[in-house]
Structure 1
Amino acid sequence: MINKSIKSNFISGFLVFLIALPLCLGIAKASGFPPIAGIYTAIIGGLVVTFLSKAPLAIKGPAAGLIAIAISAVEELGGGDHILGYKLTLAVIVVSGVLQILMGLAKFGKMGDMFPISVIRGMLAAIGVIIISKQIHVIMGVVPEAKSPWALLAEIPHSIMNLNPKVTVIGVLSLALLFGHPYIKNATLKKLPAPLLILLVAIPLGFVFNLSQTHSYSLGSFDYNIDPTKFLVVLPESFLSGITFPDFSQLLSYASIKYILMFALVGSIESVLSAKAVDALDPKGRVTNLNQDLVAVGIGNTIAGLIGGLPMISEIVRSSANINAGAKGRMSNFFHGLFLFLFVLLAAAVIKTIPNAALAAMLVFTGLKLASPQEFKKINSVGIDQLLQFLTTLIVTLATDLLVGVAAGIALKVVIELVQGVKIREMFDLQAQTSASKDGLVIKFKGVASFINYLKFKSLIDAQPKNQKIVLDFSEAFFIDHTFLNNIHNIQNKFTKEGGELVKTGFDNHHFQSQHHLSSRRLITNPYLQKTHSDLSKRSRTIQDMATANQLDFEANLSPSFIRPHLSAFSLLTRLRRAKNFVLGTREHYSFMICDIKYVNSDDFSTETSTATIALIFNIAKGGIPEFYTQGKTDLFNFITKYDFKLMDKSNKVPFNIFGKNEELVDAFFTPQITEMISDSSFNIECKRREMLIHKDWGVISEGESLEKMLTFVDQFASEVVKKRLEEATKDQK
């Protein structure tokens, strides 16, 4: 088992290294730091911080989210002297790292829960716009004159008119590959991480365009210059010669103190939120000690600042890739840092051939994800109050800086709640009464449940056993905000995993800010009810009617945490984003559910999602059921966990292939009845740990006859499997 874990962590660490290498270089350059600075940070995050944080699957390294702070610090502190600004910023990073250590020791790791979600998203969107505004010019090989984000965006037409064709070809092609990677049909190319694929294209193009040699060329009547120091990655002569020590001479200036706070607060929030997101993706359900992790990140940042590196966080993109690559534990982070260290030592010449335009394309793509139009749409769906907070944070951040932007977003949120009748004192005072009932524990709220007093509730709920049912009764709460409800939504998964249940009730007389199930709500006399039959979508109403006709339970919206425990064996778990329209059935020897899901259908470098209807059969009796999946009608399961399956020969009697671990068990399981049921259906099955995932080409099944067919197949197939198990159990007893 240990050897398997080492192998899995070694392989996943290598795959993450391939993704991290170009990102570390690009983030460093975009931050106004030498490219090697990003490598230093990732190496420290891997070789040092791994053993301090004990975060199961998080990858530590530089993040795009801190680019805006870093480049502003270098420019403002240096006053035009880039090298001085870099050294002064290093001093800021050192002190902010020490501040993070103190914050972790003071148990500030939970502070990510108390910041309004829409404000955080507005901050990230602003960071995305800042990254795009700066890096779009690098893609075209142009050095812009403007400094502010708005002015840089306005200068894009000028850069287009003055672009360098050779550089632009590399940059635009790299960007196109990032957008097109999810649609690649070739199986071999699709397996390559998008950043690696870009390097495999961009580096040869750099040789074709002779970017490593200073020269001029003409295209039509226009002349262009190529300077390797501008268009290729520049590294120091040796790994150690790149080490730069901080300059503490201006540490007590207003600007330095401002950036110390920005690095510490924004970096800590991003790291905490990312660590929590990684925990949610962990198939084993492990939980990171956020305070210990914050101390570890602070130590890493202090060391990084002392030798010339960028600040680090728990980085979500690389961590997600780490999980999808099969990582088992924290040593995958160590191996990722080790591979970076060895590559810089032994293959620095390769790094020097990487075009800056390719790195800029990766960052522009990241910026587009952070500031995607979909983000505006998602925020708006939660309510106009959330959209206002989001836009205020975004606009003020772009006009000033991140600290002021976040403060403005929070201030607007407080004003919105005051306008709705909430009193300042109530925001800080959590009125929650706890009482026992025959079903479990009841926590009844009065007054206001706000982002400000959420931490008091968190302390209360953390003190309760998770293997029980807890009912949160909001019937007498005057106001409940979106952040409070979203945080409850996130911790419901812990209860489900430990055999308990966390239920929210008492909203019948509340006005919902929008149709979103986690929107802010306020107690009023004439309520707008969210979940009556008439308020459901047409599809939801049809599915509800079908469930009622078949005497099954229906829930329009349940937390994804409800379904995640049943997907723990399947790689779909890490790609699941939403689930709705649940049809739930419980039989004597098994249970099943059918629902619509939204999932990421490509690598973690993309946010593109698809929808599908899936079914799950679970709670089946132990023994006699092999792990298998069916394949043949279409090329399915292109993102299931890969095994060393043996293809079972069914003598051409079965119109599909069966892949399973245990040949004898597979042959015994696939009786003529079970084989015929699968053959006659259009559904595909994967079975792991006695739980079965069923779907039809990963598509949405239309309501009506098609959905009825799925329901019938799921129920009858589960019944046949259980029947076979009972027959075998009877034989064993005899």
Structure 2
Amino acid sequence: MFKHLKSDLPSSIVVFFVALPLCLGIALASGAPLFSGLIAGIVGGIVVGALSGSSLGVSGPAAGLSAIVLVAISSLGGYENLLVAVVLGGVIQLLFGVLKAGIIGYYFPSSVIKGMLTGIGIIIILKQIPHFFGYDADPVGDLAFAQVDGRNTFTEIARVFDGISLGATLIAIIGMAILVLWEAVLGNKGKVFKLVQGPLVAVVLGILYFVFTQDSETWGISKEHLVKVPVPDDFNSFIGQFTFPNFKVIGEPQIWITAFTIALVASLETLLCVEATDKLDPKKRTTPTNRELFAQGAGNIISGMIGGLPVTQVIVRSSANIQSGGQTKMSAIIHGFLLLISVILIPNVLNLIPLSVLAAVLLLVGYKLAKPATFKRMWDLGWKQFLPFIITIVGIVFTDLLIGISLGLAVGIVVILIKNYQNSHFLHIRKEEKTGQEVVKMTLAEEVSFINKGAILKELNKLGDDSFLEIDVRKTRYLDHDIIEILDDFGYKANDKNIDVKIISERGIIENPKDYEMFFNQEKKENLKVTR
């Protein structure tokens, strides 16, 4: 784990700067104490990072759970009651891991996962534009399209020009220039530029800019455009920021419903993020998903016990880790320690960081996830890949993550059904020169299910009187019961229409209509599988 520390340490700093405003913003969007977001980020980095088998995944509070938490705090009667649901949700996740539910993540099409990455990249860009210009009406971690105040992502962008902060915008532009310069030029000039990352330089310059311009009415940055980490007065007030679960309500049904909801949504988001992170990994390592569920469950139990929000693996921090050159899970663990140390030792320094500089960092992360080249590559792969991809993006941008993915998955399933319908069989039709009889050869696919029933029935019904049908099932390994029934029934109809039917199987050739029923009955006895 320490072998790649020279790469993991710089990337952990970048992830720290990305995670800090997100932890605070998600807590604010969830209606929870600000410190609860930091607790979740620390636990996600240190605890989940240590237990996880993911090399590059980073865990913390997730925007996808903020709406659930916001409603639950009110419906359950307080934040202490919600923490009970978070702890129980973690226990349920442990059970998911024992039951090997991690395999679910492998059933999402690649086009949907790529759409998820691109959609999140677009959301990051859209959501950070107001913060880039110093218009901070919505929390940094609020990624939902529809806002509580009745506005949405695009109306918030339109309102930016009514409240631009010149100082915040100037330092954001300078920060973006530094990031691009570091990425394109300086990063390859020497070891020092690889060790000291561009985001760190941009943040330091942002702090210095605020300190030296705070008295300027035109170019100064007001404190409302800065990071807001809770600052305790002494050790006792620091300890007082931790909240503990009220286990007296553990028997209430609503607590268990919320716990199961948190466990289900957190597990699904984690599995999707794991799949996406593995695709971004330059070394193409595979994360053990059941172990990941176990790690997330342990993280949620600990986070809930000390007052933290529920945690999941999150793609924004994970992709920032990958883009910054992270190699092992040490980068995730170190970022957790950086959050812990900075919150204890230097909260006042953190509160000097302009949000617009962090927005510049996130904008670059978003662009790398949603590069125009990705759209062209998916378009070139054909409509079967592009359609689920683009539907996933649109769904994520205009609703939320899970709805967008569900829409993309639904479209992907429809595409599979259409292609399965089309590829159930292959036809070769010819005319006998001497007799003029129509000869139809129907070769069935390797697997033929009830989905193919309509396509096969359509071809059988098109056969004219006095024709000849040859059904080749030599390559078929599975015949669904529905297909066997319609072929069996057709054997009787063929007599009335004077259609000669020949079945070619690896057992031999069957031409006698009296033998059709025996052949198909044999198929049923063999679990509908044609033997070699």
TM bucket normalised to smaller:
0.5 to 0.7
Report the secondary structure of 2:229's partner residue: coil
The residue number in structure 2 matching 1:61 is 59
The residue number in structure 2 matching 1:446 is 446
The residue number in structure 2 matching 1:680 is none
Q: Is the contact between residue 144 and residue 152 of structure 1 (CA under 8 Å) also seen in structure 2?
A: no
Q: Are 2:273 and 1:270 equivalent residues in the alignment?
A: yes
The residue number in structure 2 matching 1:379 is 378
Q: Deviations over 1:545-599 (max 9, x none)?
A: xxxxxxxxxxxxxxxxxxxxxxxxxxxxxxxxxxxxxxxxxxxxxxxxxxxxxxx
Q: Is the contact between residue 43 and residue 340 of structure 1 (CA under 8 Å) also seen in structure 2?
A: yes
Matched residues in 2 for 1:12 and 1:166: separation?
A: 33
The residue number in structure 1 matching 2:289 is 290
The structure where strand makes up a greater share of residues is: 1
Q: Are 2:86 and 1:131 equivalent residues in the alignment?
A: no
Report how far residue 374 of structure 1 moved: 2.6
The residue number in structure 2 matching 1:589 is none
Paired letter, 1:169: L
Report how far residue 416 of structure 1 moved: 2.0
Q: Is the contact between residue 233 and residue 356 of structure 1 (CA under 8 Å) also seen in structure 2?
A: no
Q: Deviations over 1:472-506 (max 9, x none)?
A: xxx9899xxxxxxxxxxxxxxxxxxxxxxxxxxxx
Of residues 14, 17, 21, the one that matches 2:16 is 21
The residue number in structure 2 matching 1:155 is 156
Paired letter, 2:372: P
Paired letter, 2:267: A
Matched residues in 2 for 1:311 and 1:135: separation?
A: 22
Matched residues in 2 for 1:400 and 1:113: separation?
A: 24
The structure where helix makes up a greater share of residues is: 2
Structure-2 change in CA distance of 1:174 and 1:136 (3 Å): same
The residue number in structure 2 matching 1:320 is 322
The residue number in structure 2 matching 1:413 is 412
The residue number in structure 1 matching 2:231 is 236
Structure-2 change in CA distance of 1:157 and 1:332 (3 Å): closer
Q: Deviations over 1:54-91 (max 9, x none)?
A: x374454337xx43x14444555568x9xx99778766
Q: Percent identity?
A: 26
Q: Which of 1 and 2 has higher RCO (CA within 8 Å, sep 6+)?
A: 2
The residue number in structure 2 matching 1:308 is 308
Q: Are 2:213 and 1:209 equivalent residues in the alignment?
A: yes
The residue number in structure 2 matching 1:180 is 181
Q: Is the contact between residue 58 and residue 318 of structure 2 (CA under 8 Å) also seen in structure 1?
A: no
Matched residues in 2 for 1:370 and 1:59: separation?
A: 15
Paired letter, 2:302: I
Q: Is the contact between residue 42 and residue 60 of structure 1 (CA under 8 Å) also seen in structure 2?
A: no
Q: Are 2:197 and 1:193 equivalent residues in the alignment?
A: yes
The residue number in structure 1 matching 2:355 is 356
Normalised to the residue count of structure 2, the TM-score between the two structures is 0.64
Matched residues in 2 for 1:309 and 1:251: separation?
A: 18
Report the secondary structure of 1:31's partner residue: helix
Report the secondary structure of 1:420's partner residue: helix
State which structure, 1 or 2, has the greater radius of gyration over its C-alpha atoms: 2
Report the secondary structure of 2:311's partner residue: coil
Q: Is the contact between residue 27 and residue 309 of structure 2 (CA under 8 Å) also seen in structure 1?
A: no
Q: How does 1:329-340 map to 2 (within 5 A)?
A: 333-340=332-339
Structure-2 change in CA distance of 1:99 and 1:387 (3 Å): farther
Q: Is the contact between residue 111 and residue 385 of structure 2 (CA under 8 Å) also seen in structure 1?
A: yes
Report the secondary structure of 2:152's partner residue: helix
Report the secondary structure of 1:308's partner residue: coil
Aligned residues: 408
Q: Is the contact between residue 17 and residue 358 of structure 2 (CA under 8 Å) also seen in structure 1?
A: yes
Paired letter, 1:175: M
Matched residues in 1 for 2:47 and 2:398: separation?
A: 38
Matched residues in 1 for 2:198 and 2:86: separation?
A: 31
Structure-2 change in CA distance of 1:234 and 1:421 (3 Å): closer
Q: How does 1:585-734 map to 2 (within 5 A)?
A: none
Matched residues in 1 for 2:180 and 2:310: separation?
A: 28
Structure-2 change in CA distance of 1:272 and 1:198 (3 Å): same
Report the secondary structure of 2:447's partner residue: strand
The residue number in structure 2 matching 1:168 is 169
Normalised to the residue count of structure 1, the TM-score between the two structures is 0.48
Of residues 105, 108, 111, the one that matches 2:104 is 111
Matched residues in 2 for 1:349 and 1:321: separation?
A: 29
Q: Which runs of 5+ in 2 are unaligned?
A: 139-143, 426-444, 450-474, 479-532
Structure-2 change in CA distance of 1:148 and 1:253 (3 Å): farther
Q: Deviations over 1:497-543 (max 9, x none)?
A: xxxxxxxxxxxxxxxxxxxxxxxxxxxxxxxxxxxxxxxxxxxxxxx
Report the secondary structure of 2:385's partner residue: helix
Matched residues in 2 for 1:293 and 1:95: separation?
A: 17
Report how far residue 159 of structure 1 moved: 0.6
The residue number in structure 2 matching 1:396 is 395
Matched residues in 2 for 1:217 and 1:343: separation?
A: 30
Structure-2 change in CA distance of 1:240 and 1:354 (3 Å): farther
Report how far residue 207 of structure 1 moved: 0.9
Q: Which runs of 5+ in 1 are unaligned?
A: 427-444, 450-474, 479-734
